């Protein structure tokens, strides 16, 4: 709660690895952050927000709007709406703001000649890279490579990142089958132009129930979060989903039952891989998994489970894709959530987007296609996003945000545990212990969850849901204990009212 101390903390440039922590989180605060929510309208959204949404509704979907935002007036962890309300933001643009609104270092970047030149001369990166491309990437994205993954593919968004990882996995899988230096056969060349095998091979991605990997046609085929995401859209019929293990929380308390459920799921994954190899119907080229299935309701599993997945995929020559679009970039208290697993050999792909601002994936040389123009596109990402990623990574280092996330997360978790004991009907299956601020719990049911979120918003705290009845905390990395205490206080007020 010592705001003054935190605000005074000096941000020191550090070249050292993230692993080296300071004993005290030195997250630099925002000089102009409010100290409490300010709600000036009878309800949120207020009348101006409603009017702006109605105007948008004349030419674009507006029914998913929460409120219209004054981004200029937003600061740090606080989001200002068009009516003059100021809310503590524990949702952060669907988990996509890393270091706070209008961070002074990001502002400095945006005013730099380097950024401006990049912004106004958007290159076709695959043909005409900027002379500084390696320097920009290596000093940013390159400095947070997951161990063992030296290659970096840049793309436009999380869905694009996953789809391009799928493409790379498919191409590498067929290369393994045919011998990577083999020429394409006339049959392959001809059939691919008709969308038919062998040129367009009958391969599949295996994912899990409650997974969310995006909304384009490939990524959506692997997404199984909610009906509303999938209804009416054709999908690849032979891409299977294996049921996510039905674990209970806290994980540590139910480790024996959970382990049985996880082993069951692992056995099913292996059975599908083996069956498809033997009986056809679409061999599994890759398995994709989120470290925490986020949109699908913050579904966790043990490190043993993920190690098991890595083992099974490696054993059967299936690529292993870790989707860190939502879990990546420090939110769980490690830069990449999969660092918790302690894998013996790295995943084949780690995809990212959201908080990174830049999107894409890390991978191994083996999954670079044998010819250029197989993985290609006009833009292939965006230099300004790469520069923002670099600045964000610098800030995470300079402000020791990993340790901040760890300590604030621990504080939130223990406080919610206490609240859960007091309001067991409303805080159920609390989860995310030891995973930074990546915390969630279930409300009684979906309508109650929505009421709860509405009441929190009316009190000036912006929180999001996920899955069926879950409330997910997705604060920025600069969320500090005093912010957490505001959230916890308002939550208790709301629970008292229920």
- Give the footprint of its own copies on residues 194-233 (CB under 8 A): 194-196, 199-204, 209, 214-219, 221, 224, 227-233
Cα-Cα-Cα-Cα dihedral sign, residues 218, 221, 225, 230: positive
Which strands form 359-363's sheet, in the order they lie side by side?
Answer: 151-155, 359-363, 349-352, 319-323, 283-289, 203-208, 241-242
Q: How far apart are CA 401 and CA 335, in angstroms?
A: 10
Q: Is 134 in the site for its own copies (CB under 8 A)?
A: yes
| Cβ nearer to its own copies, comparing 157 with 488 | 157
Selected range binding its own copies among 11-19, 110-118, 333-341, 435-443, rule: CB under 8 A: 110-118
Q: Residue 417's closest CA among 407, 436, 408, 430?
A: 430
Name the catalytic one among 378, 422, 445, 497.
Answer: 378
In the complex, the smallest distance separating the C-beta of residue 148 from its own copies, rounded to whole angstroms, is 13
| Cβ nearer to its own copies, comparing 49 with 404 | 49
Alpha helix locations (H) across 436-480? 446-458
Q: Binding to its own copies (CB under 8 A): which residues in 478-497? A: none
Instruction: Pick the binder of its own copies from 14, 167, 444, 455 (CB under 8 A).
Output: 167
In the complex, the smallest distance separating the C-beta of residue 234 from its own copies, rounded to whole angstroms, is 5
Q: What are phi and psi of 396, to 5 degrees?
A: -60, -40
Selected range binding its own copies among 22-30, 153-161, 424-432, 446-454, rule: CB under 8 A: 153-161
- Token pair, residue 145, equals 């490579």
Alpha helix locations (H) across 350-474? 383-398, 401-422, 446-458
In the complex, the smallest distance separating the C-beta of residue 197 from its own copies, rounded to whole angstroms, is 8
Q: Binding to its own copies (CB under 8 A): which residues in 24-83? A: 48, 52-53, 55-56, 58-61, 63-72, 74, 79, 82
In the complex, the smallest distance separating the C-beta of residue 164 from its own copies, rounded to whole angstroms, is 8
Q: How far apart are CA 109 and CA 107, in angstroms?
A: 5
In the complex, the smallest distance separating the C-beta of residue 151 from its own copies, rounded to whole angstroms, is 6
Active site residue 323: yes
Q: Binding to its own copies (CB under 8 A): which residues in 340-379? A: 353-354, 357, 368-369, 371-379
- The residue count of the chain comes to 498
Q: Is 159 in the site for its own copies (CB under 8 A)?
A: yes
Q: Residue 369's closest CA among 196, 213, 165?
A: 165
Which strands form 78-80's sheet, in the order they lie side by side?
Answer: 78-80, 86-89, 461-462
- Token pair, residue 67, equals 């409120």
Selected range binding its own copies among 188-196, 422-430, 435-443, 476-484, rule: CB under 8 A: 188-196
Active site residue 30: no
Name the catalytic one among 83, 89, 298, 323.
Answer: 323
Instruction: Pick the binder of its own copies from 5, 189, 418, 425 (CB under 8 A).
Output: 189
Q: Binding to its own copies (CB under 8 A): which residues in 419-478? A: none
Q: How far apart are CA 455 and CA 475, in angstroms?
A: 18
Instruction: Pick the binder of its own copies from 26, 85, 174, 406 (CB under 8 A).
Output: 174
The answer to whether 362 and 152 are in contact (CB under 8 A) is: yes
Cα-Cα-Cα-Cα dihedral sign, residues 79, 80, 82, 85: positive
Instruction: Pick the binder of its own copies from 34, 236, 304, 446 (CB under 8 A).
Output: 236
Q: Residue 325's closest CA among 205, 167, 471, 219?
A: 219
| Cβ nearer to its own copies, comparing 152 with 318 | 152
Q: Tell me, what DSSP letter sits at residue 145?
A: P
**Which amino acids are annotated catalytic?**
212, 323, 354, 378
């Amino acid at each position: 709660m010592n705001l003054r101390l935190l605000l005074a903390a000096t941000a020191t440039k550090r070249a050292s690895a993230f692993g080296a922590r300071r004993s005290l989180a030195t997250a630099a605060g925002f000089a102009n952050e409010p100290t409490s929510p300010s709600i000036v309208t009878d309800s949120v959204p207020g009348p101006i927000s409603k009017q702006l949404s109605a105007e948008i509704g004349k030419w674009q979907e507006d029914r998913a709007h929460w409120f219209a935002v004054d981004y200029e007036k937003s600061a740090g962890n606080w989001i200002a709406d068009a009516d003059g309300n100021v809310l503590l933001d524990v949702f952060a643009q669907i988990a996509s703001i890393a270091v706070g609104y209008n961070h002074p270092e990001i502002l400095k970047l945006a005013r730099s000649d380097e950024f401006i030149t990049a912004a106004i001369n958007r290159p076709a990166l695959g043909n005409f890279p900027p002379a500084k491309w390696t320097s920009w990437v290596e000093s940013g994205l390159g400095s947070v490579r997951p161990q063992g993954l030296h290659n970096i593919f840049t793309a436009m968004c999380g869905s694009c990142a996953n789809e391009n990882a799928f493409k790379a996995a498919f191409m590498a899988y067929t290369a393994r089958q045919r011998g990577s230096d083999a020429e394409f056969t006339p049959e392959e060349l001809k059939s691919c132009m008709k969308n038919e095998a062998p040129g367009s091979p009958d391969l599949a991605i295996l994912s899990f129930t409650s997974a969310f990997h995006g909304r384009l046609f490939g990524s959506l085929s692997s997404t199984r979060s909610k009906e509303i995401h999938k209804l009416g859209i054709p999908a690849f019929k032979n891409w299977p989903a294996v049921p996510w293990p039905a674990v209970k929380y806290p994980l540590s308390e139910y480790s024996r039952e959970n382990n049985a459920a996880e082993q069951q799921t692992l056995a099913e994954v292996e059975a599908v891989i083996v069956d498809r190899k033997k009986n056809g119907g679409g061999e599994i080229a890759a398995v994709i998994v989120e470290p925490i299935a986020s949109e699908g309701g913050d579904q966790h599993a043990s490190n043993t489970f993920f190690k098991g997945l890595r083992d099974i995929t490696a054993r059967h020559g299936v690529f292993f894709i870790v989707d860190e679009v939502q879990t990546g970039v420090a939110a769980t208290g490690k830069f990449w959530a999969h660092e918790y697993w302690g894998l013996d050999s790295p995943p084949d792909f780690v995809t990212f987007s959201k908080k990174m601002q830049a999107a894409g994936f890390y991978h191994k040389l083996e999954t670079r296609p044998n010819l250029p123009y197989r993985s290609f596109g006009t833009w292939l990402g965006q230099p300004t996003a790469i520069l923002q990623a670099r600045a964000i990574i610098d800030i995470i280092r300079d402000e020791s945000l990993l340790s901040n996330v760890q300590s604030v997360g621990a504080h939130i978790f223990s406080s919610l545990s206490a609240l859960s004991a007091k309001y067991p009907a409303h805080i159920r299956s609390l989860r995310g212990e030891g995973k930074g601020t990546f915390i969630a719990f279930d409300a009684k049911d979906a309508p109650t969850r929505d009421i709860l979120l509405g009441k929190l918003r009316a009190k000036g705290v912006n929180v999001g849901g996920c899955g069926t009845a879950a409330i997910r905390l997705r604060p920025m990395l600069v969320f500090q204990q005093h912010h957490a205490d505001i959230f916890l206080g308002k939550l208790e007020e709301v629970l008292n009212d229920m």
